[in-house]
Amino acid sequence: MSRFLLPPKPKGFTLIELLVVIAIIAVLMGILLPALQRVRKQAKGAVCKSNLRQIGVAANLYAAVYENYIPRSAEWGGRVRPWFQLFMPLLSQTDMGGDYRTVDTFRCPSYPDRRQTLCYVINGWGSNVGGAGSRMSPLTDCDSPARTIYLADNEDGPWRTIITRATDRDLTRCDVFRPSHLPDSDTQGIGDGRRVARARHRAGSNCLYLDWHVDWVGAAEMTEDMWYFER
C-alpha cells in the first residue's frame, strides 16, 4: 500500500508566494509612507505652535511686569538684551547658566539646519527697530492685537545666518520691518531679503499674534497690514 501513498508536500513558501508577499508589502509601504510623513510634519508643526504659545505666555507676563511694554528687537547692545533673553526667565523650561541655547522653545523642529538656535523672527515694523529707533513698544500702541503678528517662522536659505549665540552680529537681522522681509518676496539679500519662512509648514508659517493666539498663515495670504502696530 505504501507505494500508492502521495509524496509529502514540501514545507515553506514557494518562490511565487514569496514574490506575492513582497509585492503586497511594497504596495502597503507605498500607501503608508506618505501618510506617515504627513503625520510627522503635522507633529512638528504642532510642536512649533506649542513653542509660540509658550513664548506668548512669557511675553504677556513680561508686559504685565514692565508697564505693558514688550520688546520688538533681536538686537544686543550695551545693557539691552534681545527678546528671547528677556523672556527666558518666564518660560516653563529652565536655562543653564543663562544660556538661551539650552531652551528648546526657541527652536522649530522643522527648521532644516539643526545648528539654528533662533527659529523665529520678531515684529519690528514701524518702530525703526531696523535702524536706531526704540526697541520696546507698549501694547496699547497696537490697534488690533488679534490681527497683528508678533513672531513668525524664521526663513532658511543661503542668505539667512545661522544664529549660534546671543552675541552673533547677524542677530539684528532677525526682525521684520519691510515688505521684502515677507514670505511673498523673492529678494535674497542679507539685509533686505525674505525673513519670514515661505514654506516651513505647508505653504506658509506659524505665527504668534499680539493677543497671544497662534495660527498658521499661508505665504500668499500674509500682508504688510498684519505687521503694523498702528493702522
SS3 track for the chain? CHHHCCCCCCCCCCHHHHHHHHHHHHHHHHHHHHHHHHHHHHHHHHHHHHHHHHHHHHHHHHHHHCCCEEECCCCCECCECCHHHHHHHHCCCCCECCEHHHCHHHCCCCCCCCCCCCCEEEECCCCCCCCCCCCEEEHHHCCCHHHCEEEEEECCCCCCCCCCCCCCHHHHHCEECCHHHCCCCCCCCCCCCCCECCCCECCEEEEEECCCCEEEEECCCCCHHHHCCCC
pLDDT, greater one: 49 or 85: 49
Structural domain contains residue 128: yes
| CB distance 49 to 214 below 8 Å | yes
Count of the separate structural domains present in the chain: 1
Q: How far apart are CA 95 and CA 117, in angstroms?
A: 13
Residue 133 pLDDT greater than 70, yes or no: no
Q: For residue 21, give every residue at least 6 positions away whose Cβ sits within 8 Å of its Cβ, in sequence order, or none.
A: 13
Structural domain contains residue 36: yes
Percent of the chain with pLDDT over 70: 84
* Strand 69-71, strand 136-138: pairing: antiparallel
| CB distance 70 to 209 below 8 Å | no
Lowest mean pLDDT among 130-139, 190-199, 202-211: 130-139
Structural domain contains residue 2: no
Which pTM was predicted?
A: 0.81
Lowest mean pLDDT among 47-51, 141-145, 183-187: 141-145
Structural domain contains residue 56: yes
Structural domain contains residue 40: yes
Q: What is the pLDDT of residue 196?
A: 98
Model confidence band, residue 129 (pLDDT cutoffs 50, 70, 90):
very low
Residue 33 pLDDT greater than 80, yes or no: no
Q: How far apart are CA 51 and CA 54, in angstroms?
A: 5
Read off the C-alpha cell for 142: 497696537
Model confidence band, residue 12 (pLDDT cutoffs 50, 70, 90):
low
Read off the C-alpha cell for 23: 509585492
Structural domain contains residue 67: yes
Residue 193 pLDDT greater than 50, yes or no: yes
- Grid cell 522643522 is found at 110
Average pLDDT, stretch 85-96?
80
Q: What is the pLDDT of residue 203?
A: 94
Residue 9 pLDDT greater than 50, yes or no: yes
Range of the domain at 169: 14-227
In whole angstroms, what separates CA 181 from the centre of its chain?
16
Residue 194 pLDDT greater than 70, yes or no: yes
Average pLDDT, stretch 130-139?
65
